[in-house]
Chains A and B, each alone.
Chain A
Amino acid sequence: MDIDVRKVADLARIKLTDKEADALGPQLNNILAYVDSLQKLDTSDIEPTAHPHDAAMPLRADAVTNTNRRDELQASAPKVEAGLYVVPKVIE
């Protein structure tokens, strides 16, 4: 199988330079060829494991535990104004 690396990069929101795309294409194909060894096993009756233990996800009480720390949390944002994150214009 041949992966369309540009299409995957678009899904992953990564702009690749042509040089990167040229290098990554064959590498991704090699990685997928390698992981294709999984297809050798018949797993039709096997339950998938998403979590190593059978433990149920516990729920905590639905209570407010955080204080308002907006300014501290926004201190590491690239661009903030009046408590809002600023991004390029989205709607024309």
Chain B
Amino acid sequence: METAIALFGDYTLRTVAAGAILLGVTSGALGSFAVLRKQSLLGDTLSHAALPGIALGFLIAGGRSLSAVLAGALATGILAALTMLLLVRRSRLKTDASLGVALSVYFAAGVVLLSFVQGRAGAGQAGLETFLFGQAAAILRSDLWIMGAVTVVSIALVAATWKELKAATFDPLFAASLGLPIVALDAIMTAMIALAVVLGLQMVGVVLMSAMIVAPAVAARQWTERLSTMVILASTFGAVGGVVGALISATGRGLATGPLIVLSLSVITAISLAFAPNRGLIAAAIRRARSGRALRARQVLATMDRLASEHGHPDYATEQGMLDTYFGMSTAGLLRHLDQRGWVRRVEHRPEEGVHWVLTETGSEEASRLPGDEGRDDEGQNEGVNGGRR
């Protein structure tokens, strides 16, 4: 704790942490919409497509001027997004394939340009390769103002067009029939994500930037069924991941900040995927186990009912050993489950030593309903992990 406080006194760390928070808030909020629109790859394409722009900016400005480099990154990023949109509209390629095509073409061009720049005499010191994986320590106090401005603008934009974005994201066809300008909304959203990506390049780098867009949104989606909560949570996760990554990288020499931020976000995402109450993997496994046990318990109930009718009286005491033999497993747990529901009752049956059970009145009623009861109708049943909640 003390080291953490001491670390916060560090000027560079404070700048890096502040930048990481701003970046996390922006990319979390915008990323929520990208993920819900099934455009998770958009961030990846935009960031990879920034690489040729970085190299071009360097060539045109004749040096490592940050504004020239970022302007170049934004330009080629947006160009790639337009390429993608054009492919979707004019060709038979779907969004995912179009994003993949744009990503690889622009990134390949970027790598070629980068090697060209670095091969030139005197440009060896350009250090453009830091944009591949980011170099958080290079962030200046003055950069924070730009990052802050982008954060404020993007949050304000999301707030101002909230209902339009929501409708266009959920059902673009219907939104268009209402007269909402979905193409313009799409363009604004893409431009904002491109801006956020460009801002993140210095910190996280071209290769990992898409994680900043996708991971917080995916993690947030696990915990909530409300869009507003999801966006706020994603921003929070983005900020927390950013700060944690920055702090960890400050504890040792040579620990790259960007990848650590992405790793922190990945931990948050992994925890969310596993432990979220309704959508989490563990919750789903528990639900499956419970319904499996309920099904087996019903089979036990049906067996007891059949034994009772074969023996000709409803109070027939079934010995537990018989059931164990019949099912080839211990039925003690299942019988306890049935006992808790009041469907079976434990009885003595001298001179036999073993545990005996009889059906209660509600138990035999339940057993008589069994065949129809197992055949659930399709109301309320849905494919998917969270559809089967009862």
A and B pair up = no
A-side residues, CB < 8 A to B, are none
B-side residues, CB < 8 A to A, are none
